[in-house]
Chain A
Amino acid sequence: MIFDALSVLLLLLGLFFFVSGLLGLWRFPDTFARLHALTKADNLGLGLVMTGLLFQVPDVLWAIKFVLVWLLALVASAVNAHLIAVFLHRQQEGHDESA
Protein backbone atom coordinates (compact mmCIF):
# COMPACT_ATOMS: atom_id res chain seq x y z
CA MET A 1 0.00 0.00 0.00
CA ILE A 2 2.74 2.42 1.02
CA PHE A 3 4.68 1.37 -2.09
CA ASP A 4 1.66 2.07 -4.28
CA ALA A 5 1.29 5.53 -2.76
CA LEU A 6 4.99 6.25 -3.35
CA SER A 7 4.69 5.02 -6.94
CA VAL A 8 1.72 7.27 -7.66
CA LEU A 9 3.45 10.25 -6.10
CA LEU A 10 6.69 9.76 -8.05
CA LEU A 11 4.87 9.07 -11.32
CA LEU A 12 2.84 12.25 -10.96
CA LEU A 13 6.00 14.23 -10.16
CA GLY A 14 7.69 12.73 -13.21
CA LEU A 15 4.71 13.64 -15.38
CA PHE A 16 4.91 17.20 -14.08
CA PHE A 17 8.50 17.47 -15.30
CA PHE A 18 7.62 15.95 -18.67
CA VAL A 19 4.87 18.52 -19.09
CA SER A 20 7.30 21.29 -18.10
CA GLY A 21 9.75 20.07 -20.73
CA LEU A 22 6.96 20.09 -23.31
CA LEU A 23 6.06 23.66 -22.37
CA GLY A 24 9.69 24.62 -22.89
CA LEU A 25 9.69 22.89 -26.27
CA TRP A 26 6.63 24.89 -27.28
CA ARG A 27 7.37 28.29 -25.83
CA PHE A 28 11.13 28.84 -25.97
CA PRO A 29 12.43 31.06 -28.76
CA ASP A 30 15.44 29.23 -30.20
CA THR A 31 16.41 25.62 -30.72
CA PHE A 32 19.24 25.58 -28.17
CA ALA A 33 16.92 26.77 -25.41
CA ARG A 34 14.32 24.20 -26.48
CA LEU A 35 16.89 21.40 -26.45
CA HIS A 36 18.05 22.48 -23.02
CA ALA A 37 14.55 22.52 -21.57
CA LEU A 38 13.64 19.23 -23.14
CA THR A 39 16.71 17.24 -22.13
CA LYS A 40 16.94 18.59 -18.59
CA ALA A 41 13.28 18.28 -17.72
CA ASP A 42 12.73 14.98 -19.53
CA ASN A 43 15.71 13.28 -17.93
CA LEU A 44 14.50 14.25 -14.47
CA GLY A 45 10.97 13.21 -15.41
CA LEU A 46 12.21 9.87 -16.70
CA GLY A 47 14.23 9.33 -13.53
CA LEU A 48 11.19 10.00 -11.35
CA VAL A 49 8.94 7.75 -13.47
CA MET A 50 11.52 4.96 -13.35
CA THR A 51 11.91 5.30 -9.58
CA GLY A 52 8.15 5.21 -9.26
CA LEU A 53 8.03 2.01 -11.31
CA LEU A 54 10.85 0.46 -9.27
CA PHE A 55 8.45 0.26 -6.31
CA GLN A 56 6.26 -2.06 -8.40
CA VAL A 57 8.83 -4.67 -9.49
CA PRO A 58 8.24 -8.31 -8.55
CA ASP A 59 11.93 -9.16 -8.03
CA VAL A 60 15.52 -7.92 -8.22
CA LEU A 61 16.04 -9.06 -11.85
CA TRP A 62 13.22 -6.81 -12.96
CA ALA A 63 14.73 -3.92 -11.03
CA ILE A 64 18.11 -4.44 -12.73
CA LYS A 65 16.46 -4.49 -16.18
CA PHE A 66 14.60 -1.27 -15.35
CA VAL A 67 17.78 0.48 -14.26
CA LEU A 68 19.60 -0.69 -17.42
CA VAL A 69 16.83 0.62 -19.66
CA TRP A 70 16.92 3.89 -17.76
CA LEU A 71 20.70 4.27 -18.18
CA LEU A 72 20.46 3.51 -21.91
CA ALA A 73 17.74 6.11 -22.34
CA LEU A 74 19.84 8.70 -20.46
CA VAL A 75 22.94 8.10 -22.59
CA ALA A 76 20.95 8.07 -25.83
CA SER A 77 19.12 11.29 -24.99
CA ALA A 78 22.35 13.07 -24.00
CA VAL A 79 24.14 12.05 -27.20
CA ASN A 80 21.09 12.92 -29.30
CA ALA A 81 20.86 16.41 -27.84
CA HIS A 82 24.59 16.87 -28.33
CA LEU A 83 24.41 15.82 -31.99
CA ILE A 84 21.52 18.17 -32.74
CA ALA A 85 23.28 21.03 -30.96
CA VAL A 86 26.59 20.46 -32.80
CA PHE A 87 24.82 20.25 -36.15
CA LEU A 88 22.98 23.51 -35.48
CA HIS A 89 26.14 25.20 -34.25
CA ARG A 90 27.97 24.25 -37.45
CA GLN A 91 25.08 25.39 -39.59
CA GLN A 92 25.00 28.80 -37.92
CA GLU A 93 28.77 29.21 -38.22
CA GLY A 94 28.52 28.29 -41.89
CA HIS A 95 25.89 30.97 -42.36
CA ASP A 96 28.12 33.53 -40.64
CA GLU A 97 31.01 32.74 -42.99
CA SER A 98 28.87 33.06 -46.08
CA ALA A 99 27.31 36.32 -44.89
Chain B
Amino acid sequence: MNLLDGLWGILDLLLVAVLLLLAMAAVLSSDRRRSMMLFIVFGLVLALVWARLHAPDIALAEAAIGAGLGGALLMATLRRDTHQQTDQFPQHPVVLWGAGVLVMVLGTMIAWGLFSVLPTVEQTWRKGAAVDAQLAFSGVSHPVTAVLLNFRAWDTLLELAVLLAAILGIRALGYVRSAYVTEVAFSQLAVWLVPLLILMAGYVLWAGAHSPGGAFQAGALLAGAGILLRLAGYSHAGLPTTRWLVRLGLVVGTGVFLLVGLGLLGWGQGFLHYPVAYAKWWILLIEMLATVSIGMTLTLAFMGGIPQKEAA
Protein backbone atom coordinates (compact mmCIF):
# COMPACT_ATOMS: atom_id res chain seq x y z
CA MET B 1 0.00 0.00 0.00
CA ASN B 2 2.78 2.39 0.98
CA LEU B 3 4.65 1.53 -2.21
CA LEU B 4 1.58 2.40 -4.26
CA ASP B 5 1.21 5.75 -2.49
CA GLY B 6 4.85 6.44 -3.21
CA LEU B 7 4.33 5.66 -6.89
CA TRP B 8 1.34 8.01 -7.05
CA GLY B 9 3.44 10.65 -5.34
CA ILE B 10 6.19 10.27 -7.95
CA LEU B 11 3.63 10.43 -10.75
CA ASP B 12 2.12 13.62 -9.30
CA LEU B 13 5.53 15.25 -9.01
CA LEU B 14 6.27 14.27 -12.61
CA LEU B 15 2.95 15.73 -13.76
CA VAL B 16 3.60 19.03 -12.00
CA ALA B 17 7.14 19.21 -13.37
CA VAL B 18 5.97 18.47 -16.92
CA LEU B 19 3.20 21.06 -16.56
CA LEU B 20 5.64 23.76 -15.50
CA LEU B 21 8.10 22.86 -18.27
CA LEU B 22 5.34 22.88 -20.90
CA ALA B 23 4.06 26.25 -19.71
CA MET B 24 7.53 27.77 -19.87
CA ALA B 25 8.29 26.20 -23.24
CA ALA B 26 4.97 27.45 -24.67
CA VAL B 27 5.62 31.01 -23.51
CA LEU B 28 9.31 31.15 -24.35
CA SER B 29 9.20 29.49 -27.77
CA SER B 30 9.90 31.98 -30.57
CA ASP B 31 7.94 29.93 -33.13
CA ARG B 32 4.20 30.52 -32.93
CA ARG B 33 3.26 27.12 -34.30
CA ARG B 34 5.41 25.40 -31.72
CA SER B 35 3.95 27.59 -28.96
CA MET B 36 0.48 26.60 -30.03
CA MET B 37 1.24 22.86 -30.06
CA LEU B 38 2.85 23.14 -26.64
CA PHE B 39 -0.20 25.01 -25.36
CA ILE B 40 -2.48 22.17 -26.49
CA VAL B 41 -0.28 19.56 -24.80
CA PHE B 42 -0.19 21.79 -21.71
CA GLY B 43 -4.00 21.77 -21.65
CA LEU B 44 -4.10 17.98 -21.83
CA VAL B 45 -1.58 17.56 -19.01
CA LEU B 46 -3.54 20.11 -16.97
CA ALA B 47 -6.66 17.98 -17.51
CA LEU B 48 -4.70 15.01 -16.12
CA VAL B 49 -3.72 17.07 -13.08
CA TRP B 50 -7.38 17.94 -12.43
CA ALA B 51 -8.27 14.28 -12.77
CA ARG B 52 -5.61 13.41 -10.19
CA LEU B 53 -7.15 16.02 -7.87
CA HIS B 54 -10.44 14.08 -8.15
CA ALA B 55 -12.13 16.92 -10.04
CA PRO B 56 -13.46 15.14 -13.15
CA ASP B 57 -15.76 18.05 -14.02
CA ILE B 58 -12.91 20.49 -14.33
CA ALA B 59 -10.78 17.88 -16.08
CA LEU B 60 -13.52 17.40 -18.69
CA ALA B 61 -13.94 21.13 -19.17
CA GLU B 62 -10.18 21.66 -19.44
CA ALA B 63 -9.71 18.91 -22.03
CA ALA B 64 -12.71 20.01 -24.11
CA ILE B 65 -12.48 23.79 -23.84
CA GLY B 66 -8.88 24.53 -22.81
CA ALA B 67 -7.02 22.07 -25.00
CA GLY B 68 -9.55 21.25 -27.71
CA LEU B 69 -11.36 24.50 -28.46
CA GLY B 70 -8.53 26.74 -27.34
CA GLY B 71 -6.23 24.88 -29.71
CA ALA B 72 -8.72 25.13 -32.58
CA LEU B 73 -9.13 28.88 -31.99
CA LEU B 74 -5.36 29.39 -31.96
CA MET B 75 -4.99 27.39 -35.18
CA ALA B 76 -7.70 29.44 -36.88
CA THR B 77 -5.91 32.59 -35.76
CA LEU B 78 -2.57 31.34 -37.08
CA ARG B 79 -4.18 30.52 -40.42
CA ARG B 80 -5.41 34.11 -40.76
CA ASP B 81 -2.00 35.43 -39.90
CA THR B 82 -0.56 36.68 -43.18
CA HIS B 83 3.02 37.27 -42.10
CA GLN B 84 4.26 33.98 -40.73
CA GLN B 85 7.57 35.15 -39.29
CA THR B 86 8.42 34.74 -35.67
CA ASP B 87 7.89 37.64 -33.34
CA GLN B 88 10.77 40.03 -33.08
CA PHE B 89 10.36 42.09 -29.94
CA PRO B 90 10.50 45.67 -31.09
CA GLN B 91 10.43 47.00 -27.53
CA HIS B 92 13.38 48.54 -25.82
CA PRO B 93 15.07 46.03 -23.43
CA VAL B 94 14.44 48.43 -20.54
CA VAL B 95 10.69 48.24 -21.23
CA LEU B 96 10.83 44.44 -21.41
CA TRP B 97 12.77 44.12 -18.16
CA GLY B 98 10.49 46.67 -16.51
CA ALA B 99 7.42 44.67 -17.54
CA GLY B 100 9.05 41.47 -16.27
CA VAL B 101 9.85 42.98 -12.89
CA LEU B 102 6.35 44.44 -12.63
CA VAL B 103 4.76 41.04 -13.31
CA MET B 104 7.02 39.41 -10.70
CA VAL B 105 6.10 42.05 -8.11
CA LEU B 106 2.39 41.61 -8.89
CA GLY B 107 2.71 37.82 -8.66
CA THR B 108 4.50 38.06 -5.34
CA MET B 109 1.83 40.39 -3.99
CA ILE B 110 -0.97 38.05 -5.08
CA ALA B 111 0.84 35.05 -3.57
CA TRP B 112 1.43 36.97 -0.34
CA GLY B 113 -2.21 37.99 -0.25
CA LEU B 114 -3.30 34.40 -0.71
CA PHE B 115 -0.98 33.15 2.00
CA SER B 116 -2.17 35.82 4.41
CA VAL B 117 -5.82 34.81 4.02
CA LEU B 118 -5.09 31.05 4.14
CA PRO B 119 -5.36 30.76 7.95
CA THR B 120 -8.81 32.37 7.88
CA VAL B 121 -9.84 30.19 4.95
CA GLU B 122 -8.87 27.01 6.81
CA GLN B 123 -12.19 26.86 8.66
CA THR B 124 -14.37 27.74 5.71
CA TRP B 125 -12.83 26.51 2.49
CA ARG B 126 -14.17 22.98 2.80
CA LYS B 127 -17.78 23.66 1.96
CA GLY B 128 -18.37 20.05 0.97
CA ALA B 129 -20.28 19.18 4.10
CA ALA B 130 -22.56 22.21 3.77
CA VAL B 131 -23.25 21.41 0.10
CA ASP B 132 -24.03 17.78 0.92
CA ALA B 133 -26.42 18.88 3.66
CA GLN B 134 -28.32 21.12 1.23
CA LEU B 135 -28.07 18.78 -1.79
CA ALA B 136 -31.54 17.32 -1.21
CA PHE B 137 -33.08 20.78 -1.75
CA SER B 138 -31.14 21.61 -4.93
CA GLY B 139 -33.09 19.56 -7.47
CA VAL B 140 -29.99 17.63 -8.62
CA SER B 141 -27.90 14.90 -7.02
CA HIS B 142 -24.44 16.03 -8.17
CA PRO B 143 -22.79 18.53 -5.81
CA VAL B 144 -20.91 20.41 -8.55
CA THR B 145 -24.06 21.00 -10.59
CA ALA B 146 -25.94 21.97 -7.44
CA VAL B 147 -23.35 24.65 -6.68
CA LEU B 148 -23.11 25.92 -10.27
CA LEU B 149 -26.82 26.10 -11.08
CA ASN B 150 -28.40 26.62 -7.69
CA PHE B 151 -26.31 27.72 -4.71
CA ARG B 152 -23.97 29.88 -6.81
CA ALA B 153 -26.10 30.35 -9.92
CA TRP B 154 -24.94 33.98 -10.03
CA ASP B 155 -21.42 32.97 -11.11
CA THR B 156 -22.68 30.74 -13.90
CA LEU B 157 -25.03 33.44 -15.18
CA LEU B 158 -22.15 35.91 -15.34
CA GLU B 159 -19.94 33.34 -17.11
CA LEU B 160 -22.60 33.01 -19.80
CA ALA B 161 -22.81 36.79 -20.02
CA VAL B 162 -19.04 36.97 -20.53
CA LEU B 163 -19.30 34.51 -23.44
CA LEU B 164 -22.11 36.60 -24.92
CA ALA B 165 -20.04 39.78 -24.66
CA ALA B 166 -17.08 38.01 -26.29
CA ILE B 167 -19.10 36.79 -29.26
CA LEU B 168 -20.57 40.27 -29.78
CA GLY B 169 -17.02 41.57 -30.01
CA ILE B 170 -16.02 38.83 -32.45
CA ARG B 171 -19.06 39.49 -34.64
CA ALA B 172 -18.06 43.13 -34.77
CA LEU B 173 -14.96 42.05 -36.71
CA GLY B 174 -16.99 41.64 -39.90
CA TYR B 175 -17.61 38.69 -42.19
CA VAL B 176 -16.11 35.22 -42.15
CA ARG B 177 -13.80 34.12 -44.92
CA SER B 178 -14.61 31.27 -47.27
CA ALA B 179 -14.78 27.75 -45.86
CA TYR B 180 -11.93 25.28 -45.85
CA VAL B 181 -11.22 22.94 -48.73
CA THR B 182 -10.89 19.48 -47.34
CA GLU B 183 -10.03 15.85 -47.92
CA VAL B 184 -12.61 13.17 -48.67
CA ALA B 185 -11.37 11.12 -45.71
CA PHE B 186 -12.03 14.04 -43.41
CA SER B 187 -15.52 14.84 -44.68
CA GLN B 188 -16.40 11.17 -44.26
CA LEU B 189 -15.10 11.23 -40.69
CA ALA B 190 -17.14 14.36 -40.03
CA VAL B 191 -20.28 12.65 -41.31
CA TRP B 192 -19.73 9.90 -38.74
CA LEU B 193 -18.53 12.05 -35.88
CA VAL B 194 -21.00 14.94 -35.92
CA PRO B 195 -24.11 12.90 -34.99
CA LEU B 196 -22.04 11.10 -32.36
CA LEU B 197 -20.88 14.42 -30.90
CA ILE B 198 -24.45 15.70 -30.73
CA LEU B 199 -25.49 12.50 -28.97
CA MET B 200 -22.56 12.82 -26.55
CA ALA B 201 -23.46 16.45 -25.85
CA GLY B 202 -26.99 15.38 -24.93
CA TYR B 203 -25.65 12.63 -22.69
CA VAL B 204 -23.13 14.87 -20.93
CA LEU B 205 -25.83 17.48 -20.36
CA TRP B 206 -28.25 14.94 -18.88
CA ALA B 207 -25.51 13.25 -16.86
CA GLY B 208 -24.67 16.60 -15.25
CA ALA B 209 -27.57 16.12 -12.84
CA HIS B 210 -26.00 13.09 -11.15
CA SER B 211 -22.34 12.85 -12.26
CA PRO B 212 -19.59 14.98 -13.85
CA GLY B 213 -20.81 16.97 -16.84
CA GLY B 214 -23.12 19.84 -17.61
CA ALA B 215 -23.84 22.72 -19.93
CA PHE B 216 -20.30 23.94 -20.53
CA GLN B 217 -18.91 20.49 -21.35
CA ALA B 218 -21.93 19.68 -23.53
CA GLY B 219 -21.67 23.06 -25.27
CA ALA B 220 -18.00 22.43 -25.97
CA LEU B 221 -18.89 19.09 -27.60
CA LEU B 222 -21.52 20.81 -29.79
CA ALA B 223 -18.92 23.39 -30.75
CA GLY B 224 -16.59 20.51 -31.65
CA ALA B 225 -19.28 19.26 -34.03
CA GLY B 226 -19.60 22.76 -35.52
CA ILE B 227 -15.85 23.11 -36.01
CA LEU B 228 -15.67 19.66 -37.64
CA LEU B 229 -18.41 20.67 -40.09
CA ARG B 230 -16.63 23.92 -40.84
CA LEU B 231 -13.32 22.14 -41.46
CA ALA B 232 -15.11 19.61 -43.66
CA GLY B 233 -16.16 22.45 -45.97
CA TYR B 234 -19.63 23.42 -44.73
CA SER B 235 -19.37 27.18 -44.80
CA HIS B 236 -21.99 27.85 -42.13
CA ALA B 237 -20.78 25.01 -39.82
CA GLY B 238 -24.26 23.59 -39.34
CA LEU B 239 -25.56 26.81 -37.80
CA PRO B 240 -28.94 28.19 -38.87
CA THR B 241 -28.71 30.45 -41.91
CA THR B 242 -31.42 32.88 -40.85
CA ARG B 243 -30.04 35.83 -38.97
CA TRP B 244 -32.63 36.06 -36.22
CA LEU B 245 -32.30 32.36 -35.37
CA VAL B 246 -28.54 32.74 -34.87
CA ARG B 247 -29.08 35.79 -32.68
CA LEU B 248 -31.76 34.00 -30.69
CA GLY B 249 -29.45 31.02 -30.17
CA LEU B 250 -26.61 33.22 -28.95
CA VAL B 251 -28.77 35.11 -26.47
CA VAL B 252 -31.13 32.39 -25.26
CA GLY B 253 -28.84 30.88 -22.60
CA THR B 254 -28.07 34.12 -20.80
CA GLY B 255 -31.53 35.53 -21.49
CA VAL B 256 -33.64 32.70 -20.12
CA PHE B 257 -31.32 32.30 -17.13
CA LEU B 258 -31.84 35.98 -16.34
CA LEU B 259 -35.59 35.84 -16.97
CA VAL B 260 -36.02 32.81 -14.72
CA GLY B 261 -34.05 34.61 -12.01
CA LEU B 262 -36.15 37.76 -12.33
CA GLY B 263 -39.37 35.76 -12.58
CA LEU B 264 -38.60 33.95 -9.34
CA LEU B 265 -37.78 37.31 -7.78
CA GLY B 266 -41.19 38.62 -8.86
CA TRP B 267 -42.81 35.43 -7.54
CA GLY B 268 -41.42 36.27 -4.11
CA GLN B 269 -38.79 33.54 -4.12
CA GLY B 270 -35.66 35.68 -4.37
CA PHE B 271 -33.32 35.95 -7.37
CA LEU B 272 -32.60 32.42 -8.74
CA HIS B 273 -34.09 30.77 -5.65
CA TYR B 274 -35.94 27.86 -7.20
CA PRO B 275 -38.84 26.33 -5.30
CA VAL B 276 -37.60 22.89 -4.22
CA ALA B 277 -40.30 20.93 -6.03
CA TYR B 278 -39.48 22.43 -9.45
CA ALA B 279 -35.76 23.12 -9.02
CA LYS B 280 -34.73 20.17 -11.16
CA TRP B 281 -36.84 21.32 -14.12
CA TRP B 282 -35.69 24.93 -13.93
CA ILE B 283 -32.07 23.77 -13.83
CA LEU B 284 -32.60 21.40 -16.74
CA LEU B 285 -34.28 24.13 -18.83
CA ILE B 286 -31.49 26.62 -18.16
CA GLU B 287 -28.75 24.05 -18.81
CA MET B 288 -30.32 22.95 -22.10
CA LEU B 289 -30.59 26.47 -23.44
CA ALA B 290 -27.15 27.35 -22.09
CA THR B 291 -25.73 24.35 -23.98
CA VAL B 292 -27.21 25.63 -27.25
CA SER B 293 -25.84 29.13 -26.62
CA ILE B 294 -22.38 27.92 -25.60
CA GLY B 295 -22.13 25.59 -28.60
CA MET B 296 -23.15 28.34 -31.03
CA THR B 297 -20.95 30.96 -29.39
CA LEU B 298 -17.83 28.80 -29.52
CA THR B 299 -18.47 27.68 -33.11
CA LEU B 300 -18.90 31.30 -34.24
CA ALA B 301 -15.80 32.26 -32.26
CA PHE B 302 -13.88 29.67 -34.28
CA MET B 303 -15.27 31.09 -37.53
CA GLY B 304 -14.31 34.55 -36.32
CA GLY B 305 -17.15 36.82 -37.42
CA ILE B 306 -20.52 36.78 -39.14
CA PRO B 307 -21.02 33.96 -41.68
CA GLN B 308 -21.66 35.17 -45.25
CA LYS B 309 -24.91 33.26 -45.63
CA GLU B 310 -26.34 34.83 -42.51
CA ALA B 311 -25.42 38.27 -43.81
CA ALA B 312 -27.47 37.77 -46.99
Contact = CB atoms under 8 A, between A and B. Distances in A.
Interface of A: 72, 75-76, 79, 82-83, 86
B185 A82 contact: yes
Given A82-B183, A83-B183, A86-B183, 5 more contacts: A75-B189, A75-B192, A76-B189, A79-B185, A83-B185
Contacts, number: 13
Contacts of A75: 189, 192
Could you tell me the dominant secondary structure of chain A's interface residues? helix
Interface of B: 183, 185-186, 189, 192, 196
Contacts of B185: 79, 82-83
B121 to A, nearest CB: 38
Nearest to B196: A72
B39 to A, nearest CB: 18
B48 to A, nearest CB: 16
Contacts of A86: 183
Nearest to A82: B185
13 contacts: A72-B196, A75-B189, A75-B192, A76-B189, A79-B185, A79-B186, A79-B189, A82-B183, A82-B185, A83-B183, A83-B185, A83-B186, A86-B183
A79 B192 CA distance: 12
A90 to B, nearest CB: 10
A79 B186 CA distance: 7
B1 to A, nearest CB: 16
Contacts of B189: 75-76, 79
B214 to A, nearest CB: 20
Contacts of A76: 189
A83 B182 CA distance: 9
A17 B34 CA distance: 26
B229 to A, nearest CB: 15
B156 to A, nearest CB: 29
